[in-house]
Structure 1
């Protein structure tokens, strides 16, 4: 048999025939002493009672009790009481609340610290981004941000760096363009001014000077027209697309090209079917290629024009047996104001013809390719999609 003592705040009390008994070995609280008012009230009970008594004592707080009169032969001989003081439970509750509050405060502080550290790590690239953006100006476009990680901040950094790459290229191209354009305009203006300053009173000399001035002004006009055309290629309304017959268009291109100069013109194969294209712009591109071919060939050389279709792509080519283009020049021949260094002739243009051809091809979603062997000849091929995703007007 195992004896179990009650908890320190649980008391078993009995009064029998005037004798006082208690189960808890420690002393009873004063409120439950033999002479206490509570004990006297228990002694007078004639029926069971279950109540809670509040006391102004922090060591007791309140007393929960069950009191049962002891009857022997229907005569009340005493009372049996089970009492429980709630101060301990109240203190446990307060201790638990204090622990919860302390833990909550600690967790909040930890979360705040962690948030501060994480936000600092997250915002660091953004601060660097802002700092870099503030340092950027027209003369300093080389600043870049180191990409770290693979999250959204890294993607933003990559996008920013890519934007800076495009800006740097754009500003560099603009500077080169202005320098080259200034050079191209300065030459004819110098020629015009020099002839006008030296022009005398002789009518014949005046006519010759006037002819030179008009020729140089025409050159400037062509140059300005080419610049305007290159600027227009970036506009969404640059192309006026229509459905054209490829074979018919190829024949038209060949017929127009033959009128440019006396050469051994050859008509190669022609593709069949239709395509969506801006007829005027494509004609302009092919005529530029044909004109370029005449400027780098002799009368005895051959210039061939043809077209073909393969896998949804339409090819138009201009092939010549002229002087060809050096390998180093082929890499930059489509840039603005570029000319082949090996060319024995000076073309009348400003070096914008092939840039215009490339811009027209790119506006159609296509490309231009060059295959050339120095001393053998060159082949320029424009490759365009046969069908365009842009809307085209219906034939009436």
Structure 2
């Protein structure tokens, strides 16, 4: 969860309006709900028919199982011997039922051997059987209806019905389903077993089951599921509407915070609480605002400082030109002063351009550099900067991939800075070394040193040491340039100093080039 806050007391008004609201139907909350409805609709479209088919299959399986059990008992009795010999999983239950039937009616003890005995057998068997709901046990003798249990049957199973005549013609065991178009019973599932006496089909025993009852129950169950499901879906949609609003509340707050941000007020931030993607989004937003605010502050300070630095030489040039007389010596002195100020302005503009380029990807032109040779070359160059006790302390025996010209510029800036804060009797030491996967270049002087409170500030643009006894000739961009070059190489700059005890600046760079670093 994220909450908005303003870190300043001022209330800002956005200078630009946010994008217009496209309406209710384009809102993220509505679109989430739409997809939720679509997904649930697809689920129901697939679920309801599948549910109905599964129920149909289970009902048919149950009816078939019950019919098979009845038929097994009938066949055991009509043949006088068990057909499954104890191997069938229900054989023990069948034998128990058979024994009970034989004890309850002696007409079922022996298989029939004549038409009269077959009638007696059908009378005894149907009289002892209580079929399940919508199940009919039907006996036919010589192709004609004889008796059924229960006696009341639907008209589709009447004595002279088409299906009854079909049963009378069967000479082999038959199992199937008879569709009756336009009938209330829809179809009849049956299991028929002809009875042969002395090799002749004397009768037929049929177990018939109309499907309208079970299928009606299935349809009713599906209707109940649809009604309950519809109610649940409606309730779920209502809850999803409120839940999506709660989930999207941080995004609305993020939008409101972004709308309140202007170039003059970048203090708006979002307080982050909890975890998850929205919390990460809030953290990223705050980090982005921190970078933007720092960039705006840096830009504003840079413009102010640059304006101040340029205003001074412009004022000097204008003043001397306005006061310049016609005397040749005076003109020559004025022109010399003007050219000196223009040269200082040129150096200042070049430094600003260099700092701007430092943020571009093509700032460096990388090549393989021999650190030992570069260090010795730098030592030869710095000795021309002034009368100091110059020393070469150490050289690293290695090669790195770097921009040779930029490194030279950075080290020369450090040496130039050291010469401005030392005297002829001070020492300036140059050196390089390799440690693990990094190489360092350092410039150590024994000059006036830098106060601890100033050591971080001096790397800022236009910054100068407040305790320095000398006035630097530059605009305070030298150390900023050094730091920019080091950062472009993937390294950094450190300083160790004490007031009155000199200073040591160290450029630390990785051995591998920036584009190859993982």
Shorter-chain TM-score tier: 0.7 to 0.9
Rounded to whole Å, the distance in 2 between the matches of 1:273 and 1:207 is 52
Q: For residue 382 of structure 1, what is the aligned residue in structure 2?
A: 507
**Aligned match of 1:242 in 356, 367, 391?**
367
**Aligned-residue offset at 1:108:** 4.0
SS in structure 2 of the partner of residue 307 of structure 1: strand
**Aligned match of 1:298 in 423, 433, 438?**
423
Contact 2:191–2:207 (Cα < 8 Å) also in 1:
yes
**Aligned-residue offset at 1:332:** 0.8
TM-score by length of 1: 0.80
Kindly indicate which of the two structures has a greater share of residues assigned to helix: 2
Residues 1:21 and 1:186: Cα distance change in structure 2 (over 3 Å): same
CA offset digits 1:283-318 (Å, max 9, x no partner): 211111111111111111111112222213222111
**Aligned-residue offset at 1:144:** 2.8
CA offset digits 1:329-385 (Å, max 9, x no partner): 102111100110101111110000000111111112221110000011111111122
1:163 aligns with 2:288: yes
SS in structure 1 of the partner of residue 504 of structure 2: strand
**Aligned match of 1:190 in 299, 315, 322?**
315
Residues 1:55 and 1:266: Cα distance change in structure 2 (over 3 Å): closer
**Aligned match of 1:321 in 440, 446, 471?**
446
Rounded to whole Å, the distance in 1 between the matches of 2:225 and 2:288 is 52
Rounded to whole Å, the distance in 2 between the matches of 1:56 and 1:278 is 94
After TM superposition, the structure 1 = structure 2 runs for residues 203-352 of structure 1, keeping only pairs within 5 Å, are 203-352=328-477
Rounded to whole Å, the distance in 1 between the matches of 2:445 and 2:412 is 14
Residues 1:192 and 1:9: Cα distance change in structure 2 (over 3 Å): same
Rounded to whole Å, the distance in 2 between the matches of 1:304 and 1:348 is 22
**Aligned-residue offset at 1:263:** 1.8
Contact 1:324–1:378 (Cα < 8 Å) also in 2:
yes
CA offset digits 1:173-218 (Å, max 9, x no partner): 1111111111111111122222222333444333333222222111
Aligned residues: 385
Rounded to whole Å, the distance in 2 between the matches of 1:114 and 1:243 is 65
Residues 1:292 and 1:95: Cα distance change in structure 2 (over 3 Å): same
Q: For residue 154 of structure 1, what is the aligned residue in structure 2?
A: 279
Rounded to whole Å, the distance in 2 between the matches of 1:220 and 1:38 is 121
**Aligned match of 1:354 in 472, 476, 479?**
479
Q: For residue 134 of structure 1, what is the aligned residue in structure 2?
A: 259
Rounded to whole Å, the distance in 2 between the matches of 1:67 and 1:360 is 98
- CA RMSD, 1 decimal: 4.1
Deviates more, 1:79-88 or 1:366-375: 79-88
Rounded to whole Å, the distance in 2 between the matches of 1:374 and 1:351 is 20
Give structure 1 stretches of 5+ with no counterpart: 73-77, 392-396
Rounded to whole Å, the distance in 2 between the matches of 1:79 and 1:284 is 113
Residues 1:192 and 1:105: Cα distance change in structure 2 (over 3 Å): same
Deviates more, 1:299-308 or 1:332-341: 299-308
**Aligned-residue offset at 1:270:** 2.2
Residues 1:28 and 1:365: Cα distance change in structure 2 (over 3 Å): same
Rounded to whole Å, the distance in 2 between the matches of 1:144 and 1:175 is 21
Deviates more, 1:81-90 or 1:380-389: 81-90
SS in structure 1 of the partner of residue 461 of structure 2: coil
Contact 1:47–1:68 (Cα < 8 Å) also in 2:
no
Q: For residue 490 of structure 2, what is the aligned residue in structure 1?
A: 365
